[in-house]
Structure 1
Amino acid sequence: MARAGVSRRALLGGSALAAALLCAPHVAAQALPRVVIVGGGAGGANAARTLLRDGRVEVTLVEPEPLYVAVFHSNLWLGGFIDFAALAFGYQGLARAGVRVVPQRADAIDRERRELRLADGGRLPYDRLILSPGIDLDYDSVPGWSRAAETAMPHAWKGGAQLRLLKERLDKVPDGGLIVIIAPPNPFRCPPAPYERASMMAHRLKTTGRGGARIIIVDPKPKFSMQGLFQEGWEGHYPGMVEWMAPDISDGLVSVDPATGTVVTGFETYREAALVNVIPAQKAGAIARGAGLADASGWCPVEAASMASALDPAVFVIGDAAIGGEIPKSAFAAGSQADVAARALLAGLFGEAVPPASYASTCWSLIAADDAVKVSGHYRPVDGRIREVEGTVSGAREPAALRRRQQEENADWYRAMVAGMFG
């Protein structure tokens, strides 16, 4: 349903009304077309940078948080490889570069008037809107868990406070203690991330004299990204510490009890776990769903050649919130989508040919010190859908020198990524 005050007509993105809006004369009449971006993460910040380099539009970034915490590199902090300061970035660099940064929460989108409504009651008119709202968590997807229970059983899938809580709880796990990770169903943000998290937890435990602790992953999926590589790494680096339970082994998750740290599966009940990390099902951020830009899946369909919303051509949806076809929900992918969307947006505004779309994603995962694996892909629009045209994945039992170089690649990419976003 649309939010109150947003008319039914505003939700008809594929209608003649939407087509007419794209040709509205005020776009051509004003000095600089107005592009508003919601969300200052890997998608939004990169889109702002691309638009600034072009110099023909006014760019406004709406982001309520003063600091961006790079969740996509946070597992390395859990493992003790980097400091928290390496994850946190402000928006001063974007502001100095010419982006108007509005530190407000975006409350609703009036697609008919083409206005973004802010939490303080303000309104921002736009000629084009880029949505990079990330994800919301489905608190009802894990029986017994809720928003109120996220302190007792943290998810640490969004924001700095949850990450700090997970790290505090991890550091209190005793030798011989039990950690249970509830993995999410597909699709979810960053496919290898829960399994890299288990690796980094095991590394932290082992290197701090708690190698007798156990980590059990209760998974609703029969397989996961780079499964063989992770399991090979767990056996080699952390024998007996990490156990992955597919649904046919666990007989499925039945419930959790945050008050007692209990996890019940069809196979076994795990009582008094020292730490339960619940990573629930996910969906597009509320601002996109409230504007009628998501479909029944909870995610936002987009045009494969441009990242324009399939429901409103004046809006582009990038990053985790979009239905990206075969491209995964990763920070690398969000940056790639930002570039495609920004270039297509500019071409549409100024009557130019839309550049051919090409996307890329690489996910590196650290299993142990100097032991990183990766999965990469290149993607193009094929028959109206983003499809992989080339892909590579690390091999089993690779030389130690190669695994070390892959971690160096990971670190180099991260430094370049955040410098490009916030430098």
Structure 2
Amino acid sequence: MTKLTRRQFTLLGATALASAALPVFSFAQNGGKPKVVVIGGGAGGGTVAHQLASDAGDALDITLIEQNEEYTTCFFSNLYLGNFRTFDSITHNWDALTAMGVKKVTGKATGIDTSAKTVQLDDGSTHAYDRLVVAPGIDLIYDSVPGYSEADSEIAPHAWQAGPQTKLLKEKLDALEDGDQIVMVPPPNPYRCPPGPYERVSMMAHVLKEKGFREARIVILDPKPKFSKQGLFSEGWEKEYPGMVEWIGPDIHGGIKNVDAKAGTVETDFDTFEGALLNIVPAQKAGEIATAAGLTDDSGFCPIDAESMRSTMDENIFVIGDACIAGDMPKSAFSANSQAKVAANAIRADLTDARKFPARYANTCWSLIATDNDVKVGAQYAPADGKITSTASFISQTGEDPAIRAANYDESVAWYEAITKDIFGSA
């Protein structure tokens, strides 16, 4: 089993950063600093801005465009639902990055003029770039679930974009009474994870169990015939929450026919399921700006060069995180952070005399099932045959020593502290 220490996490992608001490020279027109604009301040975009500000020093003009004043992480939001974290502990800002010289612009990017190399914002302003990083996360395809709409998410929350939706789901979970039923419809592949749907079920069950509820139930109506770490979750649910969690695959329910958020029902070919709480998570695609800029393909996500995270649609644009097609890598915060370091190295090589190092990527995903019962999966990756390919992997095993599962949780907490510093410049 691979164990990740905080030091090892900080050093991941070190070869992509080792050139920081080299002198840098601007090639921008009129003698100005090269301009880097980053759209999105999460695990991908925030990391790029931080890495460039740290390693390129005063050589680059860096602008971070983010529509929110604060950022609530989707990763660890399940632990907030399960009462393992406070909401404040998963909410961050970019003050440390602005102190490093990054220009934080609060606004929504609405267009990209690739000929003029400018980004347009919803207030009418434009920002010029020499290199652009697009890290907008995902958008939800609401009508991928029959009967569901964005308006319905205020009744049957998805909580797949953290912030108000996270709070709403928590409020509805805490309001349940014994005997109530939760019905979850997870998303089809590919989807942003975390927040993992099956960890979320575990955290919901944890809250119900801690309240002493004996009759509450959680039904999962999955559009997928199987899911990651299924054996580990099934073992955990049977051990920690016997009789509380029921997973039903498409071969049984036959497909979701209609969601009636107001009535609290999910209709399938097999039966109609009633829930005091519906958690409906639609299919996903790259964030809106990526589509508007023509960076997506027919999949709804953005193809990239595996050696650099450069868009295959435009050599001056890099796409990282949930919005990109990253081969074998999952759509996780760890993945986005790893991709950001590769992109930052490539951008410095483009705009300065910094050396470009071979791309290397990594990911680990932890899932908390119950107190001191944490499982994980992860891999190392490298470019091969035009895509990001797994070169080594690991996964927790069923029947593990409880001490290993407890150590996994401690490891995940250390990782959260490290990655948020990597993204935001401070915890």
TM-score (norm 2): 0.91
Q: Distance in 2 between matches of 1:49 and 1:161?
A: 26
* Distance (whole Å) between structure 2 residues aligned to residue 407 and residue 27 of structure 1: 47
Q: How far 1:27 sits from its partner (Å)? A: 2.5
Match of 2:9 in 1: none
Which structure 1 residue ranges, 5 or more long, are not aligned?
A: 1-24
Q: 1:89 aligns with which of 88, 92, 105?
A: 92
- How many Å separate the matches in 1 of 2:48 and 2:92? 17
Q: Residue 238 in 1 paired to residue 253 in 2?
A: no
- Counterpart code for 2:327: G
SS at match of 2:182: strand
Residue 34 of structure 1 deviates from its aligned partner by 0.2
Q: Equivalent residues in 2 for 1:363-374 (5 A)?
A: 363-374=365-376
Q: Does 1:415 align with 2:398?
A: no
Question: Is 1:39 matched with 2:40?
Answer: yes
Q: Does 1:269 align with 2:272?
A: yes
Amino acid at match of 2:370: A
Q: How does 1:70-109 map to 2 (within 5 A)?
A: 70-109=73-112
**Contact 1:192 / 1:365 at 8 angstroms: preserved in 2?**
no
Q: Give the corresponding residue for 1:320.
A: 322
Report the Cα distance in structure 1 between the residues aligned to 2:320 and 2:347, rounded to whole angstroms. Answer: 12
| Contact map agreement 1:229 1:396 (CA 8 A) in 2 | yes
Residue 12 of structure 1: aligned partner: none
Q: Letter of the 2:335 partner, please give it.
A: A
The equivalences for 1:325-340 within 5 A come to 325-340=327-342
Q: In angstroms, what is the RMSD of aligned CA positions?
A: 1.3
Paired with 1:270 and 1:217, the residues of 2 have a C-alpha distance of 10
Aligned to 1:174: 177
Q: 2:297 aligns with which of 289, 295, 298?
A: 295
Q: Does 1:123 align with 2:119?
A: no
Task: Letter of the 1:116 partner, please give it.
Answer: V
Look up the equivalent residue of 2:329 and give its one-letter code.
Answer: I
- Range 185-194 or range 140-149, more displaced: 185-194
Q: What is the one-letter code of the residue matched to 2:417? A: R
Higher RCO (C-alpha 8 Å, min separation 6)? 2
CA contact (8 A) 1:343 1:355 kept: yes
Give the C-alpha shift of residue 31 in structure 1.
2.9
SS of 2:364's equivalent in the other structure is strand
1:251 aligned to 2:254?
A: yes
Cα separation, 2, equivalents of 1:265 and 1:39: 37
Q: Percent identity, please.
A: 51
Q: What secondary structure sits across from 2:197 in the alignment? A: helix
Per-residue deviation at 1:348? 1.9
Q: Give the whole-Å Cα distance in 2 for the aligned partners of 1:66 and 1:214.
A: 37
For residues 24-47 of structure 1, what are the alpha-carbon distances to aligned partners after superposition, in whole Å with 9 as ceiling and x for unaligned?
x96365331000000000001110
Deviations 1:372-408 (A, max 9, x none): 0000110000011100000000001100001000000
**Equivalent residue runs for 1:124-163 within 5 Å:** 124-163=127-166
Greater mean deviation of Cα atoms: 366-375 or 350-359: 350-359
Q: Matched residues in 2 for 1:384 and 1:354: separation?
A: 18
In structure 2, how many angstroms separate the alpha carbons of the residues matched to 1:216 and 1:145? 18
Shift of 1:64: 1.3
> CA offsets per residue over residues 139-175 of structure 1, 9 Å max, x none?
1100000011111111000031100100010011111
The reply to whether residue 286 of structure 1 matches residue 306 of structure 2 is no
Equivalent residue of 1:181, what SS? strand
Superposition map of 1:203-242 within 5 A: 203-242=206-245
Distance 1:35 1:307, change over 3 A: same
Using the alignment, how far apart are the partners of 2:385 and 2:50 within structure 1? 30
Quick one: which amino acid aligns to residue 189 of structure 2?
Answer: N
Shift of 1:207: 0.1
Q: 1:150, 1:83 → 2: CA distance?
A: 23
SS at match of 2:315: strand
Q: What are the Cα deviations for residues 18-73 of structure 1, in whole angstroms up to 9, with x where unaligned?
A: xxxxxxx9636533100000000000111011101222211110011011001111
Cα pair 1:192 1:226 within 8 Å, conserved: no
- In the TM superposition, what whole-angstrom CA distance separates every residue of 1:206-237 from its partner, at most 9, and x where no partner exists? 10122321101111111101000000000000
> Residues 172-201 of structure 1: CA distance to partner in whole angstroms, max 9, x if unpaired?
111111100101100000167000000000
